[in-house]
Amino acid sequence: MNEKISNYQLTMFIVLTILGVGIFSLPRVVAEATNSDGWITTILGGMIAIGEYYIISKLARKFPNFTFVEIAKEVVGKVLAIPIIFVFLLNTIIVSSMVLRIFGEVIKMSLLFKTPIEVILISFLLLAFLLARGGIEPIVRFDEFVFPIMIFSVILLLALAIPDSDFTNILPIMRTKPMDFINGVMETSFAYTDFEFVLFIVPFIKNREKIFKSGFIAILIVVAVYVGIVILSFAKLGVESVKQSMWPTLSMIRSINVPDSFIERLEGIIMPLWILFAFTTIAPSLYVLSKIISKTINHKEFKHFCTMLIPIIYIIAITPNSVVDAYKLLNFTVKYIGSISVFVIPILLYTVASIRKMGEKQNA
């Protein structure tokens, strides 16, 4: 019946794909760069993401029936497209593997202390495989079903965190130098990554004109969630503690005290819900990766590559020696390779396409 993705579904898809493991370390990242102005940095990071998304949506509208790989091949020819695709692929695969690794580390820290991380990683990958092999439709339906639950729990969490918080901790405002701001914004970019996946589902989207609007709303929602978490982390823990804490969001959740309730530690409820967040990031990544490979090689079935990618992602995920190394690799990848693939490449493709007068005309 409904084969096309509607606006709501697109928005939900983007929100859930972006919200992943970034939530946990974001307060620390912005605090380290800009101290108490961290929330402003978060918003600025979101603005940049919106800008990047705008370019992507324009590119998508120019070629409404192509995915990213096909666009690249069409615009610059099959040979030149290969390095472009390769950069994209590298970015996505490293980011996904690191996200998986960090996810495993957080689970180890909060739910399963002694379980070997390999078990967590493999089981999660298998699950992602189950969803990704069905194509984009089940992924979108999954997101749609799960979205209200997640938004509801995030709002509940933020509301419960408000008592016993000192909101003056976000003062003083605007004492940071512009250089620090720029630095901070660069660091937050990894928290907003993954929206470029839209380039792979364009042929399935119902309303081509609304691609930008849906994504815009989606990123706004993400920004709102992030800002809420950052402010509450500062309010509950204090800026300096946030800078010291590995995963300030986790510490903040642990500090929430729901008096006289059945639940002693909110963390027990929030962590399972958060597993859903991580899942909705990793499953689409697997799908996109296998789609890239299958479209580049012009193979019909992307499902086969799903299976092949599992060991690859797993191996990359266990390569870093520790959590710190994982974060370093992640940040490096996103800052340099990511910005190229999300920023430079779409602009390049769009410009070349415009010059060569390719693709569909759009209304002014």
Partner 1 sequence: MHKKAKCFISLYIIAATIIFTGCWDKIEIEKRGFVRVIGIDKEKEKEDLIKVTYVFPKSEAFSPGGGKGDEKAFVVMSSTAKSIGKANDYIDSKINRSVYFGHMRMVVLGEELLKDEKSFKRVLDYIAREPSFSREIKFLSCDGEASSIGEIKPEVEKILAEYIKGIVENWESNGMIVKVDFNQFMDSIITNKGMAILPKISIEDGKANVLGASLIKDYKLVGSISADDTLYLNTLLGKRIGGNETIDIDNETVSFQSNKISRKIRLKNKDLDKLEIEIYTKIEGSISGYEIGGGELGGREILNIENAFNINGEERCKAVIKKLQKDYEVDVIGIGDYIKKFHPSVWEEVKDRWNEVYPNIRITPVMDYKVRRAGDIK
Partner 2 sequence: MSIYNYLKGRFYTNKEGADKEKEKVPIPKDVDTVLENLKEVFKDCDDLIYREFNVGENQQYKFLLVCIDGLSDKALIDNFVLESLMLCARDIRPNGESVKKRLFELTKNASLTTTEIKEEDDLNGVVTSILSADTALFIDGYGKAIVIGTKSWPARGPSEPKSEGVVRGPSDGFVETLRFNTALVRRRIRDPRLKIVQKSIGVRSKTDIAVVYIDDIVNKDLLKEVNERLKDIEIDGILESGYIEQLIEDNTFSPFPQVQATERPDVVAGAVLEGRVGIIVDNSPFVLIAPATLISMIQSAEDYYQRWVVSTFIRVTRTIAAIISMVLPALYIAVTTYNPDIIPTKLALSIASSREGVPFPAILEAIIMEVSIELLREAGVRLPDPIGATIGIVGGIIIGQAAVAANIVSPIMVIIVSLTAISSFTIPNFGLNTGLILIRFGLMLLAAFLGLYGIMLGVIATLIHLVNLKSFGVPYLAPFVSVSAGDFKDSVVRYPLSTFIYRPEFLDVNNKKRMKRMSLKSKYTTNRSRKR
Which 8-state DSSP code applies to residue 164?
Answer: T
What is the contact mask toward partner 2 in residues 265 to 304, using x (rule: CB under 8 A)? x-xxx-xx--xx--x-------------------------
The nearest distance, CB 357 to partner 2, in angstroms, is: 37
Whether the CB-CB separation of 278 and 21 falls below 8 Å is answered with yes
Pick the closer one to partner 2 by CB: 80 or 263: 263
332/326 Cα distance (integer angstroms)? 10
Nearest-Å Rg of the Cα atoms of the chain is: 20
Q: Is residue 254 part of the contact set for partner 1 (CB under 8 A)?
A: yes
Q: Whole-angstrom Cα distance, residue 40 to residue 301?
A: 45
For residue 280, count CB atoms less than 10 angstroms from its CB and return exposed for 0-12, middle for 13-18, buried for 19 or more.
Answer: buried
**Nearest approach, Cβ of residue 167 and partner 2 (Å):** 28
Q: Do 5 and 142 form a contact (C-beta atoms < 8 A)?
A: no
Give, in degrees to the nearest 5, the angle at Cα 225 between 222 and 226.
85
Shortest distance, position 126 Cβ to partner 2, whole Å: 9
Binding part of the chain for partner 1, among 153-161, 168-176, 278-286, 331-339 by CB under 8 A, reads 168-176
Please give the residues from 190 up to 209 whose contact with partner 2 meets the rule CB under 8 A. none
Shortest distance in whole angstroms from residue 115 CB to partner 2: 7
Minimum distance from residue 236 beta carbon to partner 1 (Å)? 6
According to CB under 8 A, which one of 174, 259, 262, 355 is a site residue for partner 2?
Answer: 262
Binding test (CB under 8 A) with partner 1, winner from 3, 79, 113, 355 = 113
H helix or E strand, kind and range, residue 75: helix 68-110
- Per partner kind, with CB cut-offs from 5 to 8 A, the member of partner 1, partner 2, none near residue 306 is none
Q: x/- string (CB under 8 A) for partner 2, residues 120-159?
A: x--xx--x--xx--x---x-xxx-xxx-------------
Determine the Cα–Cα distance for residues 320 and 91; give it in Å rounded to an integer. Answer: 16
The region of 55-63, 67-75, 202-210, 247-255 touching partner 1 under the rule CB under 8 A is 247-255
Contact of 13 with 288, CB cutoff 8 Å? no
Tokens of 37: 């102005």
Angle between helices 68-110 and 303-318 (to 10 degrees): 50
The least CB distance from residue 277 to partner 1, in Å, is 19
Question: Cα torsion at 91, 96, 101, 105 (round to 10°)?
Answer: 120
| Binding of residue 25 to partner 1 (CB under 8 A) | no
Q: What is the dihedral of CA 96, 133, 277, 315, to 10 degrees?
A: -30
**Alpha-carbon torsion 320, 325, 330, 335, what sign?**
negative
- Residues in 93-112 at the binding interface with partner 2, rule: CB under 8 A: 107, 111-112
| Residue 259 sits in the site that holds partner 2 (CB under 8 A) | no
Task: Please identify, among the stretches 119-127, 142-150, 154-162, 288-296, the one whose residues bind partner 1 according to the rule CB under 8 A.
Answer: 119-127
Please report which helix (H) or strand (E) contains residue 89, including its range: helix 68-110
Query: Minimal CA–CA distance to 65: which of 196, 205, 203?
Result: 203
Q: Which helix (H) or strand (E) holds 251?
A: helix 248-255
The site that binds partner 1 (CB under 8 A) totals a number of residues, namely: 30
Residues 200-239, interacting with partner 1 (CB under 8 A): 236-239
CB 166 within 8 A of CB 235: yes
Q: Which of 2, 51, 83, 119 binds partner 1 (CB under 8 A)?
A: 119
> Which residues of the shown chain bind partner 2 in the complex (CB under 8 A)?
1-2, 6, 8-9, 107, 111-112, 115, 119-120, 123-124, 127, 130-131, 134, 138, 140-142, 144-146, 262-265, 267-269, 271-272, 275-276, 279
Q: Tell me which residues touch partner 1 (CB under 8 A).
A: 109-110, 112-116, 119, 122-123, 126, 164, 166, 168, 171-172, 175, 236-241, 244, 251, 254-255, 257, 264-265
